[in-house]
Amino acid sequence: MCHANGDMRDPETIETELMEISAIADDLVKFERIVAWCGAHPDEVPFALHQLMGRRERGRGTDEA
């Protein structure tokens, strides 16, 4: 569950959990897992969003002309 002292779990653990969720093929199940994950780890949601947005930006590369 959520850590009372505000300490975040290991970033690699968080990323592994998010990668497992992202690998789910069924969108409804994926959505349900995301909601459950956010509810279980509300203090880690900002970190997770930062990681996901950074991955998206890195994925775009420098294709802009």
Confidence band, pLDDT 50/70/90 cuts, at residue 6? low
> What is the C-alpha to C-alpha distance for residues 25 and 22, in angstroms, rounded to an integer?
8
pTM over 0.85: no
Mean pLDDT of the chain: 84
CA angle 43, 61, 33 (to 5 degrees): 35
Give the C-alpha separation, 11 to 17, whole Å: 10
Question: Cα separation of 30 and 54, whole Å?
Answer: 20
C-alpha to C-alpha distances, 31 to 12, 17, 20, 28, 57, nearest whole angstrom:
21, 14, 13, 5, 22
